[in-house]
Chains A and B, each alone.
Chain A
Amino acid sequence: MASYRLRINGGERTIELSDPDQPLLYALRGLGLTAAKFGCGLGQCGVCNVLLDGRATRSCLETIASAAGKSIVTLEGLGSISAPHPVQAAFIKEQVPQCGYCTSGMIISAVALLAEKPKPTEEDIREALEGNLCRCGTHVRIIRAVMAASGQGG
Chain B
Amino acid sequence: MAVALAPHRLTRRAVLKGGALTFGFAFAGLPTHGLADEALAAPRSVNPNEVDSFLSVNGDGTVTLFCGKVDLGQGLRIAMRQIAGEELGISVDMINYVEGDTALTPDQGRTSGSNGIQRGGMQIRQAAATARQALVELAAQRLNTKADDLVASDGEVRPKSGGAGVRFADLIGGRSFNLKLNSKAPLKDPVTYTLVGKPLPRPDLPAKCTGSLTYIHDFSLPGMVHARVIRPPAIGATLISVDESSIKHLAGASAVRIKDFLAVIAEDEWTAVRAARALRAQWSEWSGLPAQDKLIETIRANPATTEEVLVTRGQPGTGSPSRAMTRAASYFWPMQSHGSIGPSCAVADIDSDKAIVWTASQGTHGNRKTFARFLGLPEEKVRLVYLDGSGCYGMNGHEDAAADAAILSRAVGRPVRVQWSREDELGWDPKGPPQLLDISGAVDPSGRILQWHTEMWLPQTTRGLPDVPLLAPAAAGLDNVRGLQPGLISQNADPPYAVDSVQVLVHWLEDAPLRPAPLRSPGKPANCFAVESFTDELAFAARLDPIEFRLRSLADPRGIAVIKRLAALMNWQSRPSPGSNKDAAIMRGRGMAYVHYKHNETYVATGMEVAVERTSGRIRVERVACTHDCGQIINPDGVRAQVEGGIVQTLSRVLMEEVKFDRSRVTSLDWSTYPILRFSDAPKLDIALVDRPTEPPLGAGDASCAPVGAALANAVFDATGARLRTVPFTPERVKSALGGV
- B356-389 contact mask (Cβ, 8 Å, vs A): 1 or 0: 0000000000000000000000000000000011
Instruction: Give CA–CA (A29, B3) in the complex, Å.
Output: 13
B 340-362 contacts with A by CB, 8 A: 340-343
The reply on B322 being an interface residue by CB < 8 A is no
The answer to whether A47 and B342 have CB atoms under 8 Å apart is yes
Check A112 for interface membership: any CB of B closer than 8 A: no
The 8 A CB mask of B623-657 against A (1 = contact, 0 = none) is 00000000000000100010011111100100000
Segment at the A interface, from B167-175, B198-206, B306-314: B198-206
Contact B678 A91 (CB under 8 A): no
Once A37-B342, A42-B671, A137-B646 are accepted as A-B contacts, the answer to whether A99 and B684 lie under 8 Å apart by CB is no
Whole-angstrom CA separation of A34 from B139 in the bound complex: 48
Choose among A84, A99, A129, A134 the residue with the greatest number of B CB atoms under 10 Å from its CB.
Answer: A99
Question: Are A42 and B670 in contact, CB atoms less than 8 angstroms apart?
Answer: yes
Least Cβ–Cβ distance between B223 and chain A, in angstroms: 15
- Answer whether A101 and B644 are a contact pair too, CB < 8 Å, given A91-B209, A95-B637, A135-B391: no
CB contacts (< 8 Å) of B206 on chain A: these are 81, 84, 92
Pair B1/A140 contact, Cβ less than 8 Å? no
Q: Residues of B contacting A91 with CB < 8 Å?
A: 205, 209
**A98 → B minimal CB distance (Å):** 3
Chain A residues with Cβ under 8 A from B209's Cβ? Answer: 75, 84, 88, 91-92, 96-97, 100, 103, 107
Whether B211 is near chain A, meaning CB under 8 Å from some CB there, is: yes
B180 at the interface (CB under 8 A from A): no
Digitize B419-447: 1 where CB-to-A-CB distance is under 8 Å, 0 elsewhere. Answer: 10110000000000000000000000000
A45 to B426, CA, bound (A): 14
Interface code B204-221, partner A: CB below 8 Å = 1, 0 otherwise? 111111111111011000
Is A55 an interface residue, CB under 8 A from the partner?
no
A133 to B202, CA, bound (A): 22
Of the residues B205, B207, B269, B391, contact of A136 by C-beta under 8 Å:
B391
- A135 and B637 within 8 A (CB): no
- A23 & B342 in contact (Cβ 8 Å cutoff): no
Give complex CA distance A135, B392 in Å.
9
Q: Is the CB of B211 within 8 A of A99?
A: no
Complex contact B684–A35 (CB within 8 A) = no
Interface residues in A26-42 by Cβ distance below 8 A to B read: 26-27, 29-30, 33-35, 37-42
- A53 sits at the interface (CB 8 A): no
Residues of B within 8 A of A40 (CB): 343, 422, 670-671
Q: Mark A126-154, 1 if CB is under 8 A from B, else 0.
A: 11011111111111111100000000000
In the bound complex, do residue B270 and residue A99 qualify as a contact, i.e. CB atoms below 8 Å apart? no
- Partner among B28, B204, B207, B217 whose Cβ is within 8 Å of the Cβ of A38: B217
With both chains docked as a complex, state the minimum distance between the C-beta of B22 and any C-beta of chain A, in angstroms: 12
Contact for B676 among A34, A100, A133, CB less than 8 A: A133
The residues in B between 285 and 340 inclusive whose CB is less than 8 angstroms from any CB of A are 338-340
The main secondary structure of chain A at its interface with chain B is: loop
Q: Which residues of chain B are near A133, meaning CB under 8 Å?
A: 341, 671, 676, 678
Cα A39 to Cα B649 with chains together (Å): 18
Determine which of A19, A37, A132, A137 lies in contact with B217 in the assembled complex, contact meaning CB atoms within 8 Å.
A37
Assess the B645–A136 pair: CB atoms within 8 A.
Answer: yes
Among B202, B422, B645, the residue within 8 A (CB) of A39 is: B422
Given A22-B270, A75-B210, also A34-B217 (CB < 8 A): yes
Is the Cβ of A98 less than 8 Å from the Cβ of B645? yes
Q: Is the CB of B679 within 8 A of A126?
A: yes
Is B274's CB under 8 angstroms from A19's CB? yes
The answer to whether B342 touches A101, judged by C-beta atoms less than 8 angstroms apart, is yes
B21 contacts chain A at the CB level, 8 A cutoff: no
The count of residues in chain B whose C-beta lies closer than 8 Å to any C-beta of chain A is 62
Q: Is residue B390 within 8 Å, beta carbon to beta carbon, of the partner chain? A: yes
- A69 on the B face (CB < 8 A): no
- Interface status of A79 (Cβ within 8 A of chain B): yes
CB neighbours of B268 from chain A (8 A): 26, 30
If A38-B419, A98-B391, A101-B215 touch, does A44 touch B210 (CB 8 Å cutoff)?
no
Residues of A within 8 A of B178 (CB): none
Q: Are B391 and A101 in contact, with the CB atoms below 8 A?
A: yes
Pick the contact of A134 from B74, B341, B641 — CB < 8 Å?
B341
Expressed in whole angstroms, the Cα–Cα distance for A37 and B670 within the complex equals 17
**Within 8 Å of chain A (Cβ to Cβ): is B122?**
no
**Nearest CB to that of A100 among chain B residues?**
B208
B201 touches A130 (CB 8 A): no
| B682 and A140 form a contact (CB under 8 A) | yes
Complex CA gap A84/B251 in Å reads 41
Residues of B within 8 A of A92 (CB): 201, 205-206, 209
How long is the Cα–Cα vector from A41 to B273 in the complex, in angstroms?
10
Contact between B648 and A137, CB atoms less than 8 A apart: yes
CA distance A81 to B25 in the complex (A): 14
Pair B269/A30 contact, Cβ less than 8 Å: yes
Q: Are B210 and A41 in contact (CB under 8 A)?
A: no
Asked if B680 CB lies within 8 Å of chain A CBs, one says: yes
> How many Å lie between the Cα of A129 and that of B251 in the bound state?
39
B72 within 8 A of A: yes
- Alpha-carbon distance between A143 and B646 when the two chains are bound, in angstroms: 18
Say if the beta carbon of A116 comes within 8 Å of chain B: no
Report if A84-B208 is in contact (Cβ < 8 Å); known contacts: A38-B217, A126-B679, A135-B676. Answer: no
**Are B210 and A97 closer than 8 Å at their CB atoms?**
no
Residues of chain B with a CB closer than 8 A to A136's CB = 73, 391, 645, 649
B571 at interface by CB-CB < 8 Å: no
Query: Which A residues are in CB contact (< 8 Å) with B144?
Result: none
- A111 within 8 Å of B by Cβ? no
The residue on A at minimum CB distance from B211 is: A35
CB distance from A41 to the nearest CB of B (A): 6
- For B192, the chain A residues whose CB sits under 8 A away are none
Q: Give the residues in chain A near B201, CB-CB below 8 Å.
A: 92, 95
Q: Is B737 an interface residue (CB 8 A)?
A: no
- Contact A101-B422, Cβ < 8 Å, known A39-B342, A136-B645: no
Residue interface mask B663-693, A partner, CB < 8 A = 1: 0000000111000111110101100000000
- A81 contacts B217, C-beta separation under 8 Å: no
Chain B 81-101, CB-CB to A under 8 Å as 1, else 0, gives 000000000000000000000
Q: Shortest Cβ distance from B337 into chain A, in angstroms?
A: 10
Give every chain B residue within 8 A of A38 (Cβ-Cβ).
Answer: 217, 342-343, 419
**Known A103-B208, A135-B340, A138-B641: A129·B73 in contact at CB below 8 Å:** no
Contacts of B648 in A (CB 8 A): 137-140
Min Cβ gap B720→A in Å is: 25
Decide: A130 and B210 in contact? CB cutoff 8 A.
no
Whether B210 lies near A84 (C-beta < 8 A) is yes
17 A-B pairs besides A26-B269, A37-B390, A44-B670 with CB distance below 8 A are A34-B211, A40-B343, A42-B422, A78-B210, A80-B210, A84-B210, A92-B206, A97-B73, A98-B74, A99-B388, A101-B341, A101-B391, A130-B680, A133-B676, A135-B393, A138-B648, A140-B644
Question: What are 16 A-B pairs at a CB distance below 8 A?
Answer: A34-B217, A34-B218, A40-B670, A40-B671, A47-B342, A76-B212, A99-B390, A99-B392, A101-B340, A101-B342, A127-B679, A130-B679, A134-B341, A136-B391, A137-B649, A140-B644
Q: Which 5 A-B pairs have the closest CB atoms?
A: A35-B211, A137-B648, A98-B73, A99-B391, A100-B208
User: B interface vs A, CB < 8 Å?
Assistant: 1, 28, 72-74, 201-202, 204-215, 217-218, 251, 268-270, 273-274, 338-343, 388-393, 419, 421-422, 637, 641, 644-649, 652, 670-672, 676-680, 682, 684-685
